[in-house]
A and B are shown apart, each in its own frame.
Chain A
Amino acid sequence: MTSLLLDLLLGDTDGGYEVSGPPQRWVVPANWKLPAENLAGDGYHVLAAHRSLVELGLVGGLSGNSPVARAQRALMAGRDYDPPRVSYLATTDPERGPRLGDAADSEVGLSEDEDLEVVARLSGAPGGNADQLRRNLSSDQLRFVRRHFASTGTLFPNLSVIRAPFTTATDAPPVPSFSLRLWCPRTVDSTQVLSWVLVPRDASDEVKDEMRRSSIRSFGAAGLAEQDDVEVWSRIQSGARGCRVGSARIFTCRTRSRWPSRCRRARTNIGSTDDSQWNFYLRWRDLIGGAVR
């Protein structure tokens, strides 16, 4: 299952991916598990934590029937794919919200091939079309990626990916971005982040530069989205020192998914619950051999 997810993210081009220069490195005053679980699900934090991007019109709000608003509702609902406590992939959900094709274009009812073209464009596929996707992904993977846009995920325990198109102008089309990051524990309450930008090896220098800018403008030490995520992690960590935290319920779980899984050997969790994150902590607890006190 892990290789299914990794191939979806990294095996969809002829020439593979390369890093664009050295990673960014910075230190976040939070335990490493906070960002790791944030990227293992948590689609529903977007509209609150990144409210400034909503107000700027870069991320759609929930209300209204525009393609962008419907895409945001899909993101909030989302699906987290949770293979046996190994890795997590958060995706947009085609059933509670529109299909990706509906979200990105105003026409309803795109064909599956047209859907694939939209995915190719948003994921930065070389050539801007789906030819390489068709060549490199299996029919199972193509069927999956047509219906979902795999945006973020965590490979347990501390390697995450972010693949999120971003725009810095309300009237400009989103530019694909692709970051890989490692959450390196330093102390119980600080983490060194290594953040690489990935670009398709075969892309032109101009496209690579565009994708790098899109990645670092959205996520990264100075990213418009990441800045507020870091603030939230820092405050959770500082709040976790408080005397009330032991008795607080901080997870919202639904232990039985209502949606059929589209991946064998993977559990599908609704994106608006914390099931994937809860399973992340259960897995960690099992590995360190301790029972919850």
Chain B
Amino acid sequence: MSLGAHIGALALGALLAATPPLVAAPPTQQEIEEALTCQCGCGLTVHACNHLQCPSGEPMKREIAERLARGESKEAILAAFRARYGEKVLSAPTFRGFNWFAWATPFAAVAAAALALGVVLGRRTRARPGGEAPPPAAADPALRARLARELEELEREP
């Protein structure tokens, strides 16, 4: 496998790792609170908002608990809040339509740059086949003694 392919695989792996799992575990209160943005203006998720008796976060937390107790799925709960407040209530872009650009662009940009870098470097390194780096200087006792003297010399403050 070429280096470019390695880099591509790495980027794809990172992208896949960043996407949500296909089989969702049972939702938790915290998970749903973190997927929603508090509407009080704090800019935090419902879970993180700790405003004293927050007029937005507290009722949302209670409603999530009630809906979970009724056995509603995460998707259904998020859809209910989205219908009420609009898409801005979700704390991250959905994986649909234009919002895909939000998720894919950073990885695509890094992968494209890595690929370009790999291709350019690959061409240049092939164009300049070189041997191994020169071995370290031989441990010649005279050279070592000179090196030691010069190190000592350097250590003396002016």
- The answer to whether A binds B is no
